A = this chain, B = another copy of it.
Amino acid sequence: MAFSERVDRLKSSLIREILAAAQRPEVMSFAGGLPAESMLPKVDWDQMPASMGQYGMSEGEPALREAIAAEARSLGIDCSDSQVLIVSGSQQTLDLASKLFIDRGTEVLLEAPTYLAALQVFQLFGADCLSIPQESDGPLLDALRQRLEKHHPAFAYLIPTFQNPSAVRYSEEKRDAVAALLDEYNVTLIEDEPYRELVFDDENARPIVSRMHKASWIYTGTVSKTLLPGLRVGYLIATPDLFPYLLRLKQSADLHTNRIGQWQALQWLGSEQYHAHLAELRRFYCLRRDAMQDALTKHFFDLADWQLPQGGLFFWLRLKRPLDTRTLLKPALARDVVFMPGEPFFVDPEQNPGYLRLNFSHVAPDRLDEGIRLLASVVRGAYVVEAA
């Protein structure tokens, strides 16, 4: 069978394979990025017009595009509804951007670590992925400038607000500095913000694209983390030089995003009901974060270091004595607990052992302490084996 050359670079999604393995109900999963089942809002379909069953526009539903543009403007993003494209979940933004920018060998700039599925799709299309080390308040600026001086990346892909997997939120200073650097070198920014609304304090985090004045950009978001992922409704907002290409690539990919999900999303966005739901979600997830912080402090204090996440869905642990955390998966699953190894989030996994991503939204608090205890014992067990 003669496949395309890109198929040689087609990796399976480790995340989804672990999720599949963790389907057994007795397994406690810290692996995924799933919203808590109990926090999925009850939705109503009674008022949906029959016309939503017909083919729609590739751009998306006009009213939904307007609502999204209005919300983006309230974040300081200078844009109109004509720049909004509704996509089949924000994962599709990465597919469309890959098609727009990436040939074999095209350089792109990523955080280290970065979102696994982004890394995979960029590599699938043949990108040469350059990475910038992440600090607790955003990228190492010297490294960013150095990369921009030496290379000509087609774009920088950043997740500045509660980054997946590191939970980092860029500081005001770094947001400004990154915007200025990308403008200076005229490098397109893809800013991915699935977690913006899942925030536990009142710190400002205006998007980086709202601070840019020259370079092109794509800003992408989703309702998956705040409403219902099963709708598969996300969006991108792009500068006018990019938009027409992205629209045609969307047409070619799947004609348009499903209209029933778009209609449902529109019932929520900007509504009082939605704001109330978000407030409840934040309270709920904040409690779960606190519960996990307590469990980690109890069971991992001597094993790992971490930062308390101010939003998002994850803790990012760095083991004090690094080992390849992928080797922990099997013993963890044997004890009915599963987590996400850190290595696959790096362009160079072998050079970055010893990280674990733990989701705090999914496991109920009454089981959480036991799960973290089990996980800690798996890590300790690995050290014993190592020492033997």
Contact = CB atoms under 8 A, between A and B. Distances in A.
Interface string A232-259: 1100000001101100110111111111
A287 interface: no
Given A34-B54, A258-B260, 4 more contacts: A91-B255, A95-B252, A230-B258, A232-B255
Most chain B CB within a 10 A radius of its CB, from A34, A92, A233, A241: A92
Interface stretch (A97-105, A205-213, A336-344): A97-105
B100 A254 contact: no
A78 interface: no
Contact of A255 (B89, B216, B244): B89
Interface residues of A, number: 80
B55 A12 contact: no
A43 B54 contact: no
A283 interface: no
Interface in A323-343: none
A11 B230 contact: no
Contacts of A253: 91-92, 95, 253
A335 to B, nearest CB: 24
A368 to B, nearest CB: 20
Contacts of A275: none
Interface of A: 1-7, 10-13, 16, 20, 32, 34-35, 37, 40-43, 45-46, 48, 50-58, 87-89, 91-92, 95, 99-103, 106, 117, 120-121, 124-125, 152, 154, 188, 216, 224, 227-233, 241-242, 244-245, 248-249, 251-261, 264
Nearest to A38: B50
Given A229-B53, A261-B258, A101 B13 contact: no
Contacts of A117: 251-252, 255
A352 B254 CA distance: 28
Given A2-B154, A103-B4, A92 B254 contact: yes
Contact of A230 (B46, B53, B248): B53
B249 A10 contact: yes
A258 B241 contact: no
Q: How many copies does the complex hold?
A: 2
Contacts of A254: 87-89, 91-92, 95, 232, 254
A252 B91 CA distance: 7
B245 A259 contact: no
Given A53-B231, A260-B261, A100 B16 contact: no
Contact of A256 (B45, B232, B242): B232
A120 B252 contact: yes
A231 B260 contact: yes
A41 B241 CA distance: 40
A258 B258 contact: yes
Nearest to A36: B54
Contacts of A106: 4
Nearest to A92: B254
Contacts of A231: 53, 258-260
A121 B252 contact: yes
B230 A52 contact: yes
10 contacts: A2-B154, A4-B100, A4-B101, A6-B103, A20-B57, A34-B54, A55-B230, A95-B252, A124-B252, A231-B259
B229 A257 contact: no
